[in-house]
Amino acid sequence: MYEIVRDKPLTRPCEVVTILKRDYGLDVSYHVVWLGVEKAKAVIHGDHSLSFDQLRWYSDAVMRYNPGSYVNIDYDTSSRQFCRFFVSFAACISEFNSCWSLLFLDGTFLKRKYKGQLLVTMAKDRNNGLFPIAFAIVDSETTANWPWFLHELGKVIDGKHQITFISDCNLGLLEAMLKVFPSAHHGFHEKLAKLKEEGKQRAHTFFKDLAPEHWANSYFRGMRYGEMTSNAAESFIIRLKKHAIFL
């Protein structure tokens, strides 16, 4: 089983069950195989719980060998437990200062043992190439974590530029944006998607609580460069989750 997981890290337990039956004629239960896969991953990639302690080493290494990068580990001062982890690499920070002042924000749930949430902000260069400005691992997508993420983001991007943010209006993001980036413009599309589901009869009530500068081009004061959704951030999340074992 070790060889199977080593050669194909994203192998699922159900695939191992099939391989053991097909190649070796063994009938092994899914539960037993799942335990074996988890143990094999621990041998290959290290224990998940111990990896949190290695974040301090990783942070120091990034700051030392990749000058200009920024990493911050936030933890509970009383329990000394991990809370949040923010990363922004020097090359991405430098690239953003020569690109459109347009950032895409999104978050997604993590499915491994310790769960949590992945928050990302993406940029797009003038050749439509996507690259991450920063990403963070947090305990959940809460009204406390988005302000923290945006505050950390404000430390690495040039605040002299008027930035336009595009998101799907994640929990607490709209309120956090007004506090951390008060001069920035913020557009999203989640409400419009909901409108299509609800039907036109409820449109009046629906839009009454939604400021038009967040969804209507005629009222939007920022520069969106034709970007209407946060799909750029979602695409990065999909690729990252596909190739990162810990997610």
Give the pLDDT of residue 29: 92
Domain locations along the chain? 2-46, 50-243
For 89-146, how does the pLDDT look when each residue is reduced to its tens digit (9 = 90+)? 999 888 887 777 788 888 888 876 777 888 998 888 777 778 889 999 998 656 788 8
* Cα–Cα distance for residue pair 233/86, rounded to 1 Å: 16
Residue among 123, 119, 116 at smallest CA distance from 107: 119
Which class for 11: exposed (0-12), middle (13-18), buried (19 or more C-beta within 10 A)? middle
For 139-195, how does the pLDDT look when each residue is reduced to its tens digit (9 = 90+)? 865 678 888 999 999 999 866 667 787 877 666 677 777 788 877 666 565 455 555
Overall size of the chain counted in residues: 247
Containing H/E element for 39? helix 30-45
pTM score, whole prediction: 0.68
